[in-house]
Amino acid sequence: MKIGYRTVAFTDRPLEDALAVIADAGYNAVELCLENPDLDPLQCDLARVTAIGGRLQALGLQLAAVSYHGVQDQLEVRRQRTYAAIQRLADFGAEVFVVASRREDPARLPAQWSEAVDLYRELADKCAQQHCRLAIEPQPGLVVRSAEDLVKILKSCNHPNVAANLDLVHATLSADDLSWAVFQLGSKLAHVHVADAVNGTHQHLVPGEGQIDFDEVRDVLESAGYSGPLVIDIPRSEGDPAAVCRTAREAFRSCWGS
C-alpha cells in the first residue's frame, strides 16, 4: 500500500529537503503539490522534473500523484498552469493528476457546472495522452463541493479518464455518506487524502486528533476493494512541518494499523 504525504505542507523550504523529511518519517510515497513555489508548472522544465525523479528514486519514494488546485490563482493563470502541469505528467511518471473546481457563484452555479464538465472532459483527454488519470477533488465552497457532487459530475462527464480523489476532511465537512460515496465511485476512486477533522471546522488535523472514525473508513475502503494511495494531507499550520509530518505517520499507524 502506498502511504504518502502531500508536499503542500512544505512551502517554506526546497522540495529536496521536504522529500528527505517525508522519507525519513517512514512514508513510501509522496504527492507533489505544484502550488509549492519551486514546483510552479510554468517554471518546472524537463531538467527539473528529471532531477526530482532521481531524488524520489534515491529516497525510495513512489509518486502517488501530482496535484494542482490553483483556487487562489487568477483564472487565466490557473488555466496556463494547469495545461503546463499536464504537459509534464508523463515526465514525472504520474498516474494521477488531482484537480479541484473553481469557487462557486450561487447565481451562476448551473452554468459553472456545465463549464466544469466541459473543462474536465478536455483535461481528461490531455491527461490520457500523458498516460495519467484526471482525479477531481470536491471541497466545500467550490462548484464540486461534496461526494454527492463528485458522483454526479463523474456521471455528467461520462469520460473513461475522469476519476475521483476523496478527501476525508472535506467529506466530513459536507456530511457525506462515505460508504455510499465509495461504492458509487467504485473503480473511479483513484486517490484518497487522509487527515482528521473536528467540530465542522475546515482544518486538516493529524489522524486521531479529531472525530473521524478511521476504523470505519478503513473497513469501507477495504470492502470496496480500494488499493490506491492513502496520502496524508495537512497543509501548513503553526509549528514545525517536519515534526507534524513525523507525528502524522505514527498517528496513522495507530489509527489504521499500517
Q: Give the pLDDT of residue 238.
A: 64
For residues 77 and 98, what is the distance between their CA atoms, to the nearest angstrom? 17
Residue 219 sits in a domain of what CATH number? 3.20.20.150
Q: Give the pLDDT of residue 1.
A: 84
SS3 at position 238:
coil
Q: Give the pLDDT of residue 200.
A: 79
SS3 at position 243:
helix
Q: Give the pLDDT of residue 192.
A: 97
Domain that holds residue 157: 3-256
Q: State the CB neighbour count (10 A cutoff) for residue 250.
A: 14
CB 236 within 8 A of CB 203: no
SS3 at position 29:
strand
SS3 at position 175:
coil
DSSP E strand stretches across 54-188: 62-67, 96-100, 133-137, 162-167
Interior CA angle at 246 toward 8 and 235, to 5°?
20
For 201-212, the DSSP string reads ----B-TTSSS-
Interior CA angle at 235 toward 230 and 238, to 5°?
135
- Could you give the C-alpha distances from 243 to 9, 21, 55, in angstroms and in order? 11, 9, 21
CB 96 within 8 A of CB 191: yes
Q: Please count the structural domains in the chain.
A: 1
Q: Give the pLDDT of residue 141.
A: 95
Q: State the CB neighbour count (10 A cutoff) for residue 93.
A: 15
The amino acid at residue 163 is A
234: exposed, middle or buried (Cβ count in 10 Å: 0-12, 13-18, 19+)? buried
Provide CB contacts within 8 A for 242, sequence distance 6+: 21, 25
SS3 at position 220:
helix
For 31-49, the DSSP string reads EEETTSGGG-TTT--HHHH
Q: For residue 167, what are the β-bridge partners?
A: 193
Provide block-wise average pLDDT over 10 residues at a time, the chain (258 residues): 93 92 97 92 94 97 97 92 97 97 95 97 98 97 96 97 96 90 95 92 90 94 95 84 95 88
DSSP letter assigned to residue 6: E
